[in-house]
Structure 1
Amino acid sequence: MSDQDTEPSVLIVGTGIFGTSTAYHLAKSYANPSRITVIDRTPSPPEPAASTDINKIIRADYSSPFYCDLAHEALHAWATWPELKPFYHQTGWINLGEKGSDLPERIRKVFRDRGHDPTKDVPLEDVEKNWNGIMKGTDLKGFQDAYWNPEAGWCDASAGTASMMEAAQKYGVNYVTGCVAELCLSDGRVRCVRTTSGEECGADMIVLATGAWTSSILSPIEDQLGIAEEDRVERQAQAAGVAVAHYKMSAAEMDQLSEMPVVVYGEEGEVIPPPASNRLLKYTNSNTFTNTITTESGHRISVPPTRDQHVVSERLKRETRAAMSSRVMPTFTHGKEEEYWRLCWDAFTPTQNWLLSRHPSSSLSNLYLAIGGSFHSYKFLPISGKYMANVLSGKGNGAEKDEAWQWKKGNDGRRGAHEKTKPHRELCDLEHDVATSPANL
């Protein structure tokens, strides 16, 4: 019997960073990549979502040595892989440190301990002078210092994700378009995924790479199996959102912004340089929120609202404008109408570690999860699937990685990889002027 006959078939639900990367790495290792199928609600390349935004930050600046090492692995791929190199821009970043925050120093200590620290101090009085004066007028009250890292940058996220998925399909991966309606069980396994159109897709292994939508997909199955509250997937990851504003730049403004780095405005948010293709300067308000609903069975789960994600409440707009138009790079945004708004959703885990794991329930023995981006994981597009492929093969990734990415029994007390984005607010409290999503599934 050939390897092609013994390779388990794999169905990956979702084509974000984890789904796309897993399909890519499995395809490279399989003798018969046609045994791998991905399914997404939109055709390839998928429509904009957390993993297919106009741009994302690429950096290794972590207070966690674990993720700093992973990020350096990913940065090498961004700089050298033909599938990704055209979409990567090493512009550097400027990180403003708030008074009383030890985060910048913890990040720089990780670099020093690794034996390579590319960062340099930037006196606050010099911030407005550098990079063609693009930060003139930026409100620096409340900040104690700043540092510059020339090795950071950003990427065209939509194009990068599409390029890796295209490569996976060229290897032989099947792409199915469909919206998942339910998981169908049989004899301790997920027999298939059924779409809203009634199509059934099955495989030996099912991988949910469904990000912020994971609880809504698994909740009916958890009800059916009588899984206890503390063992449900909601305890592993919540759906969390951020508000993102986009400002159209003129040709003259693009010239002035030609040397722009990524700007990290402390814990409040970040500005990413505008791509030449659309000239959109993007500001992300880092003050996150959840959207908690009650299911028919009485369980409380977090899900993205069902409406168009470009609908943003006036309250969230005012909050975001207060930072961007008045405090961060006001030369380019003050008094300017936003081109468009968007809510961006991700799966947020208690420690901001990924969840790359088989489901622990014996009734779901072939179900795996690859989620937990926690608003910091796009940069790992080239490598996250390599580690998920090892989970699927049973090889594992070594003690440290397996422990970090396993199904967890509560928080181990360690500091998170991206703590500042932990949600403390509910979307319904931020949008009294917008009709909220239904209270029940």
Structure 2
Amino acid sequence: MTQTDDSYLIIGAGVFGASTALHLIRKYPNSKIRLVDREPFPPQNAASWDLNKVVRADYDDIFYTEKALEAKELWRWDPLFKPFYHESGIFWISDAELASKISDNYKKLNAKEDFRLVSLDEAKTAYDGMFEAADYSGVSQILINKSSGWAEAKEALKATIQASVDAGVEYTATDIVGVEFDKNGACIGARSKSEEMFRARKTILCTGAGTARLLADSSPYREDIQVDGRLVAAGICTGFVELNDKLAEEFSKAPVGVQDLLPGRGGSLPPTVRHELKYWRDVSVRNSIKHASGQVFSAPPDKPLYDQWEVPQTLKDEVRYVSESLFGKREDLKISNHRLCWESVTPSNDFIISAHPRCAGLHVATGGSFHGWKFLPILGKYVLQMLDGTIDPALAKRWAWDRENLEPDLKDSFVAAA
């Protein structure tokens, strides 16, 4: 790529990278825009590559409630996203405080969401008694929102990337091993494992769980550009049940199920067209490494596809417990496969959408924190505003590389609100 005044290099084709590419090419159709990932799209090592993901605006933080409502409108009506969205509803087993905050946020925003708080007796008969055997310990009311749902994850991601390619984005499947700098320390692009150089005026890291390792590899002893606790690579375990025809019929009208209380925190997603029921366990793990620079940070295993399908038995047991917390002990819901999904998590679960304050030409858009996927239709809009310098100052502050909520040590477990 020849460096020009309108050239962009996006590294990482997950949810942040795909959305950024699409919004960039739509606004600047004559720009040189390259999207790079180690695999043909959609990249299977990305957290965005999955059977399905939750699409909801049920947040206790009104900021993300408002942003998710914006995204949901596109999931419902935009021809690009609508084919992949399924408004199944969501069933929340949570404490009264969370349910109340979600309800209050919708009322404050005058949101047209079809939600209600129901008693435990009513909850146990909802959806033909599907959740009758759930663990309701410490719960007094259940929030049911029929306006929430889920989307086909890898299919939606692939369609987004294809739309950007059709509009003029260049997609390159290669393994980026380092960001490149000029003599003044400014970013001028990146290099691949095969020593190919990709130059650009603006480089955007949408590298998720691999961000800390990439920056450390790029300039090991340049302390001013390192992640340094701003985000951590974390993995959560998911499990899949292959439903027979009878079970597929039973779960055909299932909502997203969320068990938001320990010890069974996690959830389930309704069956795909191939009759696969998915669970997630809402506790994360790390893979701490000592880098050659002396830094210690978490990074996904340095193996093909991060070895996502090699899951320890302890994590498998955790996913089984989620199933029991939602549907009781059922021998017919046998989990046949597991996956360890790696994501970048920030201390506050806020995204990072920011110019790097100590490296001209380098920008960062990541930190999905296990809840960012649902914003696929709109993330690129805000990345574009950041790149153009037009982003609202309040958003810039909340999503900054340097911000007040930065903590030096992240907890071992995160509230991974899908």
Q: TM-score by structure 1 length?
A: 0.86
Which residue of the partner structure matches residue 105 of structure 2? 110
Q: In the alignment, does 2:94 pair up with 1:82?
A: no
Residue 338 of structure 1: CA displacement?
1.9
Which residue of the partner structure matches residue 377 of structure 2? 382
Which residue of the partner structure matches residue 252 of structure 2? 258
| Matched pairs, number | 402
AA in 2 matched with 1:319: E
Which residue of the partner structure matches residue 170 of structure 1? 166
Q: Kindly provide the CA deviation profile for residues 375-412 of structure 1, in whole angstroms up to 9, marking residues without a partner as x.
A: 111110000101101111222x2122111111224417
Change (3 A) 1:304 1:132: same
- The Cα RMSD (Å) is 2.0
Pairing partner for 1:217 from 214, 218, 223:
214
- Structure 1 stretch displaced more, 349-358 or 109-118: 109-118
SS in 2 for 1:21: helix
The percent of aligned pairs where both chains have the same amino acid is 32
Which residue of the partner structure matches residue 27 of structure 2? 29
Provide the C-alpha distance between the structure 1 equivalents of 2:57 and 2:179, rounded to a whole number of angstroms: 37
Change (3 A) 1:31 1:6: farther
SS in 2 for 1:127: helix
Provide the C-alpha distance between the structure 2 equivalents of 1:244 and 1:110, rounded to a whole number of angstroms: 30
AA in 1 matched with 2:139: F
Which residue of the partner structure matches residue 308 of structure 2? 309
Provide the C-alpha distance between the structure 1 equivalents of 2:43 and 2:313, rounded to a whole number of angstroms: 29
Which residue of the partner structure matches residue 318 of structure 1? 317
Change (3 A) 1:202 1:275: same
Which residue of the partner structure matches residue 368 of structure 2? 373
Residue 360 of structure 1: CA displacement?
1.3
Residue 27 of structure 1: CA displacement?
0.4
Provide the C-alpha distance between the structure 2 equivalents of 1:375 and 1:27, rounded to a whole number of angstroms: 27
1:1-400 alignment, distance < 5 Å: 7-33=5-31, 35-47=32-44, 49-98=46-95, 102-116=97-111, 118-187=114-183, 188-227=185-224, 232-267=226-261, 268-276=265-273, 278-307=274-303, 308-324=307-323, 326-330=324-328, 333-334=330-331, 336-361=333-358, 364-395=359-390, 397-400=391-394
Write out the 4+ residue segments of structure 1 that deviate beyond 4 Å after TM superposition: none
Residues 289 and 423, structure 1, Cα contact 8 Å, conserved in 2: no
SS in 2 for 1:328: helix
Provide the C-alpha distance between the structure 2 equivalents of 1:190 and 1:58, rounded to a whole number of angstroms: 35
- Structure 1 stretch displaced more, 334-343 or 379-388: 334-343
Q: Kindly provide the CA deviation profile for residues 219-250 of structure 1, in whole angstroms up to 9, marking residues without a partner as x.
A: 134533243xxx73132111111111111111
Provide the C-alpha distance between the structure 1 equivalents of 2:72 and 2:229, rounded to a whole number of angstroms: 31
Residue 190 of structure 1: CA displacement?
2.3
Provide the C-alpha distance between the structure 1 equivalents of 2:392 and 2:197, rounded to a whole number of angstroms: 35
AA in 2 matched with 1:353: D
SS in 1 for 2:220: helix
Which residue of the partner structure matches residue 434 of structure 1? none
Residues 88 and 156, structure 1, Cα contact 8 Å, conserved in 2: yes
Residue 349 of structure 1: CA displacement?
0.8
AA in 2 matched with 1:322: Y
Residues 7 and 30, structure 1, Cα contact 8 Å, conserved in 2: no
Provide the C-alpha distance between the structure 2 equivalents of 1:129 and 1:207, rounded to a whole number of angstroms: 49
AA in 2 matched with 1:27: I
Provide the C-alpha distance between the structure 2 equivalents of 1:409 and 1:400, rounded to a whole number of angstroms: 12
SS in 1 for 2:401: coil
Provide the C-alpha distance between the structure 2 equivalents of 1:6 and 1:315, rounded to a whole number of angstroms: 51
Q: Kindly provide the CA deviation profile for residues 54-98 of structure 1, in whole angstroms up to 9, marking residues without a partner as x.
A: 100111111111111111110001011111100000111111123
Provide the C-alpha distance between the structure 2 equivalents of 1:45 and 1:320, rounded to a whole number of angstroms: 26
AA in 1 matched with 2:412: H
Residue 423 of structure 1: CA displacement?
4.7
Residue 15 of structure 1: CA displacement?
0.6
Residues 244 and 275, structure 2, Cα contact 8 Å, conserved in 1: yes
Change (3 A) 1:45 1:409: closer
Residue 50 of structure 1: CA displacement?
1.0
